[in-house]
A = this chain, B = another copy of it.
Amino acid sequence: MKHLSESKTIINSKKMTKNITIIGIGHIGSSIAVTLKKRMNCIITAVDFSKKNLQFALENNIVDKVSEMNECFANADFVFLCIPVKFIEDLLPEILNNVDNNTVVIDVGSTKKDICQKIRNHKNRKQFVAAHPIAGTEYNGPQSAIEGLFDNKMNLICESELSEKSVLEKAKEIFSVLKMNTKFIDADEHDKNLAYVSHLSHVLSFALANTVINNNNLHSSVFTLAGSGFASTVRLAKSSPEMWIPIFLKNSENILQALDIFIDNLLEYKSLIQNSNSETLNIKLTEANEIKNLIDLK
């Protein structure tokens, strides 16, 4: 509530309707749209290469208007880039070339280093805020829009010192309408840490699904034997290849390092199980149990 009332004082006190352009009306873009529409005076314009997604978003009142890329910047107060990280990097320089002086451009990509690097010396860098709202589900498309998806979640902003102060303030305000807690982090640190607490989870979940699907050794109805534990670890395997392949490739160095440590751990488990080494297994599992005290997310 603190966030919402704060933002009301600032964004809404101007009594002006804000023009918000959302490029990429998938899960994140559409969830931003439905949440902002409910909480502030705004007109939301969507851009997406998928005509089907645009039509769905319009018909379901997720957005107010649809537009072509070259017409979507005029009078925009905010432009959100909610597309795969590779496309953010490709499009961002051109977008910064074309926006008005007062427009705040925010990306919500899951990797930050290359994106920040790409426009570090752009003449309009100061109008840009490199953000990563840590929110989302394994679903995709505007069909999966969730109002309040970002409530009480963490938002990370990188290289904030390169955004103009007023631009950064406006970005923080709009994230506070989304009820997010904003934290600042170095872009390299961001990519390294997220490799371990997000990207690696996706690789292993995809690999788990690959291990079980089309495995001829298994019962034809093997999945009826699965419980909530399997469902939990394989959940992320439902995630979109379009979103995740670019993340894997953009953050490959950190992900490969995390993957190596993870595989080493698995090889150690393999050897401990092979040798019935209960004692060391107990040390490993007891260490892993520490996670209880380290995260309280469900």
List A residues at the B interface (Cβ < 8 Å): 134-138, 153-154, 156, 183, 185, 189-190, 192-194, 196-198, 200-215, 217-219, 222-239, 241, 244-245, 248-249, 252, 255-263, 265-267, 269-270, 273-274, 276, 278, 281-282, 284-292, 294-295, 297-298
Evaluate contact between A225 and B194: CB separation under 8 angstroms. Answer: yes
Least Cβ–Cβ distance between A273 and chain B, in angstroms: 5
Assuming A217-B192, A249-B276, A262-B211, is B285 touching A241 (CB within 8 A)? yes
Q: CB-CB < 8 A to A260: which residues of B?
A: 270
Evaluate contact between A233 and B232: CB separation under 8 angstroms. Answer: yes
Evaluate contact between B290 and A227: CB separation under 8 angstroms. Answer: no
Q: A207-B288, A256-B270 are in contact. List 17 more A-B contacts (CB 8 A).
A: A134-B227, A135-B227, A156-B225, A192-B217, A197-B225, A197-B226, A198-B227, A203-B269, A207-B262, A210-B288, A211-B261, A217-B257, A223-B294, A230-B297, A237-B288, A249-B276, A263-B270
Assuming A265-B210, A294-B213, is B198 touching A230 (CB within 8 A)? yes
A215, A234, A265, A285 interface centre (most CB from chain B within 10 Å): A285
Evaluate contact between A207 and B266: CB separation under 8 angstroms. Answer: yes
Q: Interface majority SS on A: helix, strand, loop or mixed?
A: helix
Complex CA gap A219/B256 in Å reads 18
Evaluate contact between B213 and A196: CB separation under 8 angstroms. Answer: no
Q: Closest chain B residue to A233 by CB distance? A: B201
Evaluate contact between A209 and B291: CB separation under 8 angstroms. Answer: yes
Complex A-B: 29 CB contacts under 8 Å: A134-B225, A136-B227, A138-B229, A185-B225, A192-B217, A193-B225, A196-B211, A196-B212, A198-B225, A198-B229, A200-B211, A205-B288, A206-B285, A206-B288, A209-B290, A210-B265, A210-B287, A213-B287, A223-B294, A227-B297, A229-B236, A232-B232, A232-B233, A233-B236, A248-B273, A249-B278, A256-B270, A259-B266, A262-B266
Evaluate contact between B197 and A222: CB separation under 8 angstroms. Answer: yes
Evaluate contact between B297 and A237: CB separation under 8 angstroms. Answer: no
Pick the contact of A274 from B137, B256, B281, B287 — CB < 8 Å? B256
Q: Closest chain B residue to A189 by CB distance? A: B219
Least Cβ–Cβ distance between A275 and chain B, in angstroms: 10
Q: CB-CB < 8 A to A198: which residues of B?
A: 225-227, 229-230
Evaluate contact between A233 and B211: CB separation under 8 angstroms. Answer: no
A138, A228, A248 interface centre (most CB from chain B within 10 Å): A228
Evaluate contact between B297 and A228: CB separation under 8 angstroms. Answer: yes
Evaluate contact between B231 and A284: CB separation under 8 angstroms. Answer: no
